[in-house]
Every structure is written in C-alpha cells, then in structure tokens.
Amino acid sequence: MKLNLFDYSPPVRVWLLLLLYTIELTASLWMAYELRFDFMMESAAQQERIIVLMWLVPLQLVLLGLFHQLRSLLGYFSTPDLARMFHALTISAVVAGIAWVIWGAGFAPPRGVIAIDFVFALVGLTGVRLAMRTLRESLSVQGRKNGLRQRRVAIIGAGDAGALLAHELALKPGCGLHPVAFFDDDQHKWNSRVHDIPVLGPPERLTEVNAKLDIQEAIIAMPSASAKRIGEVVRLLRLARLPCKTIPSMDQLALGQVRVTQLRNVEVSDLLGRERVELETESIRLALKDRVVLVSGAGGSIGSELCRQIATYQPRQLLLLDRAEPSLFQIEQELIGLEHGQRLIPLVADILDRPRMEEIFSRFRPEVVFHAAAHKHVPMMEHQPGEAVKNNCHGTAQFADLALEFGVDRFILISSDKAINPTSVMGATKRLAEMYVQALFAANPTRTKFMAVRFGNVLGSSGSVIPLFHKQIAEGGPVRVTHPDMTRYFMTIPEASMLVLQSAIQGTGGEIFVLDMGKPVRIVDLARQMIELSGLKPDEDIQIEFTGTRPGEKLFEEVTHKGENFAPTTHPKICRFISQPPELTRLRQTLESLCAQVHLISPEQIKRLLRDAIPDYTPYLTAPEPAPSKITHLKEFERQADQRH
C-alpha cells in the first residue's frame, strides 16, 4: 500500500488545511450560539451569528496562518503545534471580546459564545490534527509490517524508559521487534497496561508465561535499577535461554548522543554499580561557552569523550590535538556528525615538538587546556621507560610552560591513580608530571590555574582488560588473569570525563583532584561476569588462567599519597588533595637530567633516576645496583650542572 495520502504538495496542503479548519471553526461557532441560547434562538440572534461568522472565522484562519498552522505536514502534530494553536485562538477570543465591549450585540458575539467557541474550536482543531496523525501512523506501521517478520520481545521495566521504548518500537517496525509484554518490580504496575501492552508481573514470571507468549528476546529498560538487580535479571534471562539487550545509558540519552531504540548488549559496566553523575552544568557552560578549548590526546579514550562533552557546551573553538592521525580523524568525523563541525579544529601534532606547539598556542590562544596526551600502558612502559619520561614528564612540562607563557586560564592534567605511591614507570612519570604543574603554579600563583585529576581504570579504554577479555572469550579462551586477588578501581569513560569537567571549574590552582572510584573490583570476578554475559559458563565453556603479576603492577591500588591533605569539595564524587609542591628550579634540573640521559643509559638506570626524584616510587628492578658511572645519579648530574653555571 503506497502511503501517498499525506504526500501532497505545499499549496494543496494549505488549501486542504484551510478547508478543514474553516469547516471546524464554523461548526464550533454555530454550536456555541446554539448552546448559549439553549437551542431556541430568535431571529436577531440568528442574524447576528451570520455577521459574526463572516469576520470571526476569517480572523481565526489568519491568526492560525500567522502561527504556522496552515503549512504543517498533515500527519504530524505535537505539543508545540498545540501551543501555537492555543495562542492563535486566544488572540481571536480577545479581539472578539474587545469588539463586544466597543460595538456590543449585533456585530460581536456575546461573552458566553466567545468562551464556548474558544473551547470548541481548540478541541475540534486538535481532534482533527490528532486524527490525521493517528491515520498516518497506522498506515505507516501497516505498510512497513507487510512482509516483515518481527521478533516478539518482553520489556523488563515498565517505567518512563520502557514506555518510551515500546512507543518507539511500535512506530518503527523496521527494527523488527514487537513488544508483547512488560515485566516490572513495582507491584502497583502489575495487571495494568502500558501502550496497550500488559504488565504481567515481576521479571521472575517471565519463565512461567514464556510458553504462552512465545517470547524470543528481552530488553532491559531499568535505568534506575541497582547493578545487583540488573545482574539478577541477566542471570534470570540466561537461565530462560533468552537473548537480551538493554537501552543506552541515561547519560547518553540526556546528552542526545543516542536514541532509546539504539539497543546494545548488556555490558560489564551495567553490573558494576556506578551511580549516575550529576553535574553543575550551568557552571561548566559558563567556563567553556564561547571560549577556545584545547584537548591534547583528543583521539584517545578519555580525550575523545572529553571532546564529545565539551562540544555540547558550545565553545567558540575546540582544538583537537593528537599525533595519531587515524584516531583524530575518527573523533572529528563523529563530532561533525553531531553538528559540531563549525567549531572543530583538528591538529595533527606531537606535544614534544616545541616549535609546532608554540605555533599552535600563538595562533589559536587557547583559554582552557585539557592535557590527556600520555603513554599509559604499564607493562610496555616498564620496558622502555625513556619514552614514558619524554612524553609524560618532559612533554607535560613543556606543554604547561607554554600554557603559562601564552596566558591560558586553566590547565587540567589528566593523571592516574597509579601515580599514588607508584610501583610502575607509568605511575612514576605521571606523579612527576603532577609535581611539575603544582610547582609551576606555586611559582606563578596569579596566572594560569594548574591542576591535576586522578582516577582509576576506565572501562573499555584502549589497552584495558575489557577489550582484551572480549577478544580472549571470542577466541574460545582461556581468559588470562594475572592474580586471583588483584583488584582495580573502575569507572566508565563518560563518568570520568564528566567529573574531569566538574573538577576543572572547581579548581583554583595547585590542587590534585581525586574522583570517587567506588569499590575496588576483583579482576577475576570481572572476567567471570564477562564470560557469563557472553552466554557461557566460566571454568566450563571458557577457562580462566592465572599468569602472575607483571613488572610494575600492584595487587591493590591506593587512594592517597603520604603527606597529602584531604579536603572535600562541593561535589560529592570529587575530593581534593593539597600537598607541599617541590621547588620549581630543582624540579626543572631533575627533568633536564632525566631527558639528557634517557637514550644513554639502561632502563634500569632510568628507573633509579626516577626513584631519586620521587621518594615514594618503588621501581621493579631485575639487575643489582651497578657501580657509579659517568653520570647515573641525579645529585651528581645536578652538581656538575651547578659547576657549569
């Protein structure tokens, strides 16, 4: 069946709406007079009605046209249309009332007729438009159902999210999903109907009624449910041998990044119990709107998510800086697709390239800088610590110096919980970067506000255990875990990025912000959950192997440094640590020493130099202490540097 009933050209559509509106408005005014005079109108009232019809109905039509109600698509009607229709009819009623006051009976309708006509006209016009919308939707759905086989689905959760999902699926049969039942934990909703779909009881009833309903799939729409309850429902569906999906997160829906019908597989992040982050969005908007914002490492996991969120606050320019062209291109295209292209400036550049960095700062004059560029893979950096020193320490110091030189307002360093009492090169270099920005602010307290933000592992980031476990499960196992007692703090990428933005507006300079990372998670439990989410059984379908801890790894991540003072902030998920920064001149000499030797000495010697600079650092060393060489110790290097000066 071809749906050409509503495909009229604009002129035909205007004339059709004009005809329908004229008939309805005339009928409303005619009936208003009849009711006003109790269906016993005298000849004078009948003559008055004809006169009023000749000027009031045309006035109403003109006002409806001025409020864009004559050029609407025939099959579409929404709340904004209703509001505009209300305003048009209200103005016409006010004009009629003024005419009654000035000219009285004979030309203007009585006040009772004006009130009745307003109600009848609004209800009648709304009914006409809703009837056309209902007809369009029913014809559209029927047309797309022809020849389309749909899967029968149960929706777990009969709240707002579930109701919206059911409504969208009904309008989009092309999704191939037909909701046949709701299940919900709220017993007040049982035995009721949502969009004419029955709510049959709690999710536990699904296995009981499945034989009658022939349900083929389940969709979890419980954004407010606890992670424990989500896990119980997932296990229930697995026992029922029903494939399941879930709706996008509320954060994604709120940001407009996805629609409720963009279903996804249940992920391990759904089972970790992370609460939704509440932001002071207006404060963030004031800090970022119409400003030039630079994000280094923009193609990375955290950098790209920062760019997505920053773009929604309408900066004047958003500078995407990364040395990896493919990942930079990917985030640029994604943001262009979200209609942020007019403010994007992708910059292929390396933060170690000082002339290029100077050109970027001089040309664009960024006002807020988020520094996410870094080497972050712990085992890899253990074998080549010189690269971590160059990128994480020297690169950050150079970047921060340029921010100070060119008058950046805020500089936010993305750090890591591995910087706390570090045992890895990655953690040590991040700690040294923190110390540098603190020292830089202490030496220049009235200029750029330097701060750092620490958080734990982010789920799904490049190189994290989540994609690695996914790959191992897809290959049939085994899933390799380093140690049965190893725990880590986990956050989602959007959550971490949101809290980084929140920290950025709270900082006054010199702080290290630490995000609330919740409870630590055992890696082996994470592996088991991922195997179960794949529909398999741990230790039966997929084996778990323990490989032993790797160089630089801790069994348990720590929260605070020795000597750091804890202070709360206005946000419940962010706390602030304040410590005494080192002296800037001495710290610069330390960095000069490290960078001068990274290609001249062994990885073990570099780790020892880092240990000299960071007393809390406990390096992983495989070789015994060597005899003193020409320059292998920071104090010796600094002594010779002092002699040269």
Structure tokens at 272: 């970790």
Considering the domain boundaries, does residue 537 fall inside one? no
Considering the domain boundaries, does residue 204 fall inside one? yes
Lookup result for tokens 């009981």: 208
Among 91, 120, 145, which residue terminates a domain?
145
Q: Using the Cα atoms of residue 240, residue 241, residue 247 and residue 251 in order, give the sign of their dihedral.
A: positive
Nearest Cα to Cα of residue 439 among 627, 588, 260, 216: 588
Strands 457-459, 368-371: pairing is unpaired
First to last CA, the chain: 89
Nearest Cα to Cα of residue 288 among 415, 410, 133: 410
Residue 1 has what pLDDT?
A: 38
**DSSP letter (8 states) at residue 619:** -
Do 61 and 87 fall within a single domain? Answer: yes
Q: Using the Cα atoms of residue 65, residue 70, residue 71 and residue 75 in order, give the sign of their dihedral.
A: positive
Do 438 and 505 fall within a single domain? Answer: yes
Strands 217-220, 197-198: pairing is unpaired
Do 564 and 603 fall within a single domain? Answer: no
Considering the domain boundaries, does residue 477 fall inside one? no
Structure tokens at 321: 């800086």
**Number of alpha carbons in the 13 Å side-chain half-sphere of residue 284:** 20
87 phi-psi bin (left φ>0, alpha ψ -120 to 50, beta other): alpha
Do 429 and 294 fall within a single domain? Answer: yes
Residue 441 has what pLDDT?
A: 93
Q: Are 325 and 481 a contacting pair, CB within 8 Å?
A: no
Nearest Cα to Cα of residue 419 among 381, 368, 447: 381
Considering the domain boundaries, does residue 409 fall inside one? yes
Report, as ranges of residue numbers, the positions in the chain whose pLDDT lies below 50: 1-5, 143-145, 147, 627-638, 640-641, 643-645
Q: Are 427 and 528 a contacting pair, CB within 8 Å?
A: no
Instruction: Supply the mean pLDDT for the chain.
Output: 81
Do 168 and 218 fall within a single domain? Answer: yes
Do 286 and 388 fall within a single domain? Answer: yes
Phi then psi for residue 369, to 5 deg, are -125, 130
Do 509 and 623 fall within a single domain? Answer: no
Angle made by CA atoms 318, 323, 326, in degrees to the nearest 5: 85
Number of domains composing the chain: 4
Residue 75 has what pLDDT?
A: 62
What CA–CA distance (Å, rounded) separates 259 from 253? 6
Dmax of the chain from CA atoms? 121
Q: SS3 string of 175-215?
A: HCEEEEEEECCCHHHCCCEECCEEECCCHHHHHHHHHHHCC
Q: What is the CATH number of the domain that holds 221?
A: 3.40.50.720
Considering the domain boundaries, does residue 331 fall inside one? yes
What CA–CA distance (Å, rounded) separates 166 from 188? 19
Residue 187 has what pLDDT?
A: 85
Q: Are 184 and 190 a contacting pair, CB within 8 Å?
A: yes
List C-alpha distances in Å: 102 to 29, 52, 62, 191, 577: 20, 14, 22, 59, 74
Considering the domain boundaries, does residue 474 fall inside one? no
Residue 413 has what pLDDT?
A: 95
Considering the domain boundaries, does residue 546 fall inside one? no
What CA–CA distance (Å, rounded) separates 152 from 191? 20
List C-alpha distances in Å: 276 to 125, 163, 368, 568: 42, 21, 26, 20
Among 145, 176, 196, which residue terminates a domain?
145
Q: Are 208 and 240 a contacting pair, CB within 8 Å?
A: no
**DSSP letter (8 states) at residue 394:** I
Among 145, 162, 190, which residue terminates a domain?
145
Do 496 and 388 fall within a single domain? Answer: yes
Q: SS3 string of 105-169?
A: CCCCCCHHHHHHHHHHHHHHHHHHHHHHHHHHHHHHHHHHHCCCCCEEEEEECCCHHHHHHHHHH
Do 327 and 378 fall within a single domain? Answer: yes
| Residues composing the chain | 645
Do 161 and 121 fall within a single domain? Answer: no
Do 157 and 133 fall within a single domain? Answer: no
Residue 192 has what pLDDT?
A: 87
Considering the domain boundaries, does residue 343 fall inside one? yes
Nearest Cα to Cα of residue 33 among 132, 86, 109: 109
Do 326 and 445 fall within a single domain? Answer: yes
Residue 630 has what pLDDT?
A: 42
Q: What is the pLDDT of residues 61-99, one digit of tens each?
A: 899 888 887 766 666 677 788 888 899 999 999 999 898
Expressed as residue numbers, the domain containing 123 is: 10-145
What own/partner pairs with CB < 8 Å and gap ≥ 24 does 30-37 have?
31/116, 31/120, 32/109, 32/113, 32/116, 32/117, 32/120, 33/109, 33/113, 35/116, 36/110, 36/112, 36/113, 36/116
569 phi-psi bin (left φ>0, alpha ψ -120 to 50, beta other): beta
